[in-house]
């Protein structure tokens, strides 16, 4: 174990709410923060909060947030002694971790060897199999032509999932239901993979069609010990992008919990894993299968923090400094936490992205309510980056109470200027299957295949809306029928 | 954002409301509503008023694939263009059968919201 030291200044190679999260951790630890940002991100909360800011390139990610040289140069120029990559972008890029180290700075995260082992899904699977962990049948070969991949789909048996070899987070990920749509889906996955991760390589896997997504948060401390912080359930996903996450899972008994937790911890410890990591599993019919390990902080880390009483971002920084953690040996879960991801999109238009200026926002703070937000009113949501603009996280004594709290919190959350998925989140939170906790990864596509539909307003609602409009000192312009000038202009976000 | 009190069904209702660029945003009974004050366009939807045969960009983004050329015969539901925004792919389909009258975009082009991409004619 290296001698403990203290960072003076941490560069943040990220944006949005996670940049804000890291800046706050730095502030509390008495470390300066340097935001490495793109040219369009000056109008963001993180930009205003950071001690220093360095513009590292233009808006498109490949010219800024995905540009290794620009990030390293920016961090070095600002005098950083460490770099935190957040999640997404370069967070799981071993070359970036190497480049940061080569420039004489510390990469806050696992070692480049850890990232290479788990970041490459082929070697990751091999590691799991060698460790005696359960994996799913699939194809992870180098041969990437459509004919070969289609033949492998046939061999594995449909449905088959096709995903980016280099990525995570739902990008470049497609489900192939039959031989007929294999070629189209594979090509689409390859394009998304290339665009999101710079590599078109994909791999195939048997699609478990009534499985739950269960993931275990692990943490390798500075002494080389791996710790399990138990599981999260993230079965509510759309296009393989998580929407709602919770800790712990409502579907694990003590025995299964202990088993899955041990598998994850063991995999990490055998690899000499350092820092925060998440081992993802699919759970179907009482059996669980390793899907991947994410060698970074996870979007949904707050639910684990609330239930386990830890601060994962500070733990990452302390571990990178070679310092010991203050966590008790016997970490115990308490209560229940739920996270809802707020996406800038129109749930009444099939989840179409919604861009524009956020003109007003109201967050209903209260006990056990946490808001992770990267913008302030006046800031712009652009089409350059992910549509997740905020996260709402609640903690309460039981799952039922946490659901109640989340529903009320979302009712009182106001965002004007872009549409959000909040109405859809409300529907999910009220859905029987979610309330019972029996949802699988098919939940969303089964119950909300087209998002939400809107039947229109009643006559008295229209009158009411008209009153609201006129109270603000403007009457609606002409158009529509005479009896009801608003008739053709309703939409609901 | 203004908090105002407006009567509904004999009750005083508290509403947060704001007008911005031709739209009324208001939050009432736990839900946010958006109303276009500018007639003839539904906010966030297809610009161009949903004219049949006209495929417009439903959001700003990058064109990743153009699957048809001028003169091609197309069926209703056939994919015309694939575009990417916020790192996700979206396919835009023909809303009628016909012949491609014009293709205004090429691969890797950045397009604005509402840009006319493809026209399908008789």
Q: What is the mean pLDDT of each run of 10 residues along chain B (122 residues)?
A: 92 94 92 75 38 85 92 92 84 90 92 90 89
Residues of chain B in contact with residue A410, where contact means CB-CB under 8 angstroms, are 30
List the A82-84 sheet strands across, edge first: A52-57, A32-38, A9-12, A82-84, A106-107
Compare CB distances from A386 to B9, B60, B87 and report the shortest one's residue.
B87
Contact at CB, B42 and A192, closer than 8 angstroms: no
Largest CA distance in chain A: 79
User: Residue A335 class from Cβ within 10 Å (0-12 exposed, 13-18 middle, 19+ buried)?
Assistant: middle
Q: Which of A265, A274, A296, A399 is catalytic?
A: A296
Contacts of A247 (CB under 8 A, 6+ apart): A230, A231, A232, A233, A303, A304, A306, A307, A308, A333, A336, A337
Q: Return the residue in A416, A454, A470, A490 with the most chain B beta carbons within 10 A, the one to mutate for interface testing.
A: A416
pLDDT in tens, A306-316: 999 999 999 99
3-state SS assignment for residue B91: strand
Residues of chain B in contact with residue A40, where contact means CB-CB under 8 angstroms, are none
E strands, chain B, are: 2-8, 11-20, 23-28, 31-36, 54-56, 61-66, 73-74, 79-85, 88-93, 98-103, 110-111, 116-121
| Nearest CA-CA partner of A416 in A365, A376, A471, A374 | A376
Q: Is A296 a catalytic residue?
A: yes
3-state SS assignment for residue A18: helix
Give the nearest chain B residue to A187 (CA atoms): B65
Contact at CB, A465 and B65, closer than 8 angstroms: no
CB count, 10 Å around CB of B107?
11
Q: What is the pLDDT of residue A2?
A: 60
Q: Angle at the Cα of A380 (from B18 to B91), degrees rounded to 5?
A: 105
Measure CA of the first residue to CA of the last residue in chain B; give whole Å: 48
Q: Are A84 and A12 in contact (CB under 8 A)?
A: yes
Contact at CB, A419 and B89, closer than 8 angstroms: no
Contacts of A491 (CB under 8 A, 6+ apart): A348, A454, B34, B35, B36, B42, B43, B44, B45
Q: Return the residue in B15, B29, B32 with the most chain A beta carbons within 10 A, the one to mutate for interface testing.
A: B32
Q: What is the pLDDT of residue A450?
A: 86
**Continuous segment of H or E residues that includes residue A428:** helix A422-430
Residues of chain A in contact with residue B37, where contact means CB-CB under 8 angstroms, are 469, 474, 476-477, 489
Instruction: Please tell me whether the peptide bond between A159 and the residue prior to it is cis, using omega within 30 degrees of 0.
Output: yes
Task: Please tell me the distance in Å from A292's CA to the nearest CA on chain B.
Answer: 21
Q: Are A88 and A119 in contact (CB under 8 A)?
A: no
Q: What is the pLDDT of residue B22?
A: 85
Give the nearest chain B residue to A347 (CA atoms): B44
| Nearest CA-CA partner of A386 in A33, A18, A20 | A18
H-only helix segments in A107-224: 112-119, 121-130, 146-156, 182-197
CA distance A344 to A79: 35
Give the nearest chain B residue to A196 (CA atoms): B87
Q: Calculate the CA A261 to chain-centre distance.
A: 21
Residue A416 tokens, joined: 């004007």
Query: How many beta-carbon pairs under 8 angstroms link A with B?
Result: 158
Contact at CB, B6 and A417, closer than 8 angstroms: no
Residues of chain A in contact with residue B2, where contact means CB-CB under 8 angstroms, are 472
Contacts of A248 (CB under 8 A, 6+ apart): A230, A231, A232, A233, A257, A307, A333, A336
Contact at CB, B40 and A488, closer than 8 angstroms: yes
CA dist A155 to A49, A61, A139, Å?
A: 53, 37, 9
| Stated pTM of the model | 0.83
Give just the sign of the alpha carbon dihedral A469, A475, A477, A480.
positive
Task: Please tell me the distance in Å from B43's CA to the nearest CA on chain A.
Answer: 7
Contact at CB, B37 and A489, closer than 8 angstroms: yes
Q: What is the pLDDT of residue A170?
A: 67
Contact at CB, B26 and A468, closer than 8 angstroms: yes
**Continuous segment of H or E residues that includes residue A255:** helix A254-270
Task: Please tell me the distance in Å from A358's CA to the nearest CA on chain B.
Answer: 10
Residues of chain A in contact with residue B59, where contact means CB-CB under 8 angstroms, are 352-355, 383
Contact at CB, B16 and A385, closer than 8 angstroms: no
What's the ipTM? 0.80
Half-sphere exposure for A418 (CA within 13 Å, toward CB): 28
CA distance A251 to A248: 9
| Residue numbers in chain A where pLDDT is lower than 50 | 1, 475-493
Please name the residue that has the structure tokens 């733990």.
A315
CA distance A220 to A93: 19
Task: Please tell me the distance in Å from B81's CA to the nearest CA on chain A.
Answer: 12
Contact with chain A for residue B93, Cβ under 8 A: no
Contact at CB, B86 and A383, closer than 8 angstroms: yes
Question: Hey, which residues 5-24 in chain B have their CB within 8 Å of chain A?
Answer: 6-9, 13, 15-20, 24
Q: What is the pLDDT of residue B120?
A: 93
pLDDT in tens, A385-423: 999 999 999 999 999 999 999 999 999 999 999 999 999
């Amino acid at each position: 174990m290296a001698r403990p030291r203290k960072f003076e200044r941490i560069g943040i190679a990220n944006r949005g709410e996670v940049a804000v999260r890291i800046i706050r951790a730095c502030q509390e630890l008495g470390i300066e923060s340097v935001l490495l940002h793109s040219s369009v991100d000056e109008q963001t909360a993180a930009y205003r909060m950071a001690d220093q800011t360095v513009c590292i390139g233009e808006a498109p990610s490949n010219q800024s947030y995905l540009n290794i040289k620009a990030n390293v140069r920016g961090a070095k120029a600002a005098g950083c002694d460490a770099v935190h990559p957040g999640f997404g972008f370069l967070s799981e890029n071993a070359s970036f971790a190497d480049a940061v180290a080569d420039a004489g700075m510390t990469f806050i995260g696992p070692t480049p060897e850890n990232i290479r082992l788990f970041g490459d899904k082929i070697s990751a699977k091999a590691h799991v199999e060698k460790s005696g962990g359960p994996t799913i049948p699939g194809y992870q070969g180098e041969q990437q032509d459509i004919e070969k991949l289609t033949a492998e789909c046939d061999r594995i048996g449909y449905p088959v999932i096709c995903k980016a070899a280099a990525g995570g987070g739902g990008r470049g990920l497609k489900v192939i239901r039959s031989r007929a749509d294999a070629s189209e889906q594979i090509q689409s996955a390859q394009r998304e993979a290339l665009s999101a991760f710079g590599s078109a390589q994909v791999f195939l896997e048997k699609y478990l069609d009534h499985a739950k997504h269960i993931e275990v948060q692990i943490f390798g401390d500075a002494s080389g010990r791996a710790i399990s912080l138990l599981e999260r359930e993230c079965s509510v996903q759309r296009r393989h992008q998580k929407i709602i996450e919770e800790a712990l899972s409502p579907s694990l008994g003590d025995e299964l919990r202990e088993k899955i937790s041990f598998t994850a911890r063991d995999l990490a410890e055998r690899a000499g894993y350092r820092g925060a990591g998440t081992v993802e599993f699919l759970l179907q019919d009482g059996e669980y299968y390793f899907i991947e390990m994410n060698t970074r902080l996870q979007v949904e880390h707050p639910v684990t923090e609330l239930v386990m009483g830890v601060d994962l971002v500070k733990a990452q920084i302390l571990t990178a400094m070679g310092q010991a953690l203050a966590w008790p040996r016997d970490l115990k879960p308490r209560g229940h936490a739920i996270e809802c991801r707020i996406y800038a999109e129109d749930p009444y238009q099939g989840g179409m992205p919604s861009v524009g200026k956020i003109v007003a926002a109201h967050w209903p703070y209260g006990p056990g309510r946490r808001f992770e937000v990267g913008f302030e009113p006046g800031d712009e949501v652009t089409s350059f980056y992910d549509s997740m603009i905020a996260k709402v996280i609640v903690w309460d004594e039981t799952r039922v109470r946490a659901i109640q709290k989340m529903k009320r919190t979302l009712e009182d959350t106001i965002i004007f200027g872009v549409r959000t998925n909040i109405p859809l989140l409300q529907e999910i939170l009220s859905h029987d299957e979610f309330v019972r906790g029996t949802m699988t990864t098919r939940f969303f596509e089964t119950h909300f295949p087209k998002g939400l539909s809107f039947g229109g307003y009643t006559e008295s609602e229209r009158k009411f809306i008209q009153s609201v409009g006129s109270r603000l000192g403007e009457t609606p312009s002409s158009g529509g029928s005479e009896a009801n000038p608003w008739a053709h202009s309703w939409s609901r976000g | 954002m203004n908090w105002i009190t407006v009567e509904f069904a004999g009750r005083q209702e508290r509403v947060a409301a704001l007008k911005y660029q031709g739209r009324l945003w208001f939050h009432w009974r736990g839900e946010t509503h958006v109303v276009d004050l500018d007639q003839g366009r539904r906010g966030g939807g297809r610009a161009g008023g949903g004219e049949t045969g006209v495929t417009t960009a439903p959001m700003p983004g990058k064109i990743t694939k153009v699957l048809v050329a001028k003169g091609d015969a197309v069926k209703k539901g056939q994919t015309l263009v694939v575009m990417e925004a916020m790192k996700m792919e979206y396919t835009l389909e023909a809303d009628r059968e016909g012949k491609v009258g014009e293709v205004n975009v090429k691969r890797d082009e950045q397009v604005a919201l509402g840009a006319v991409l493809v026209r399908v004619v008789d």
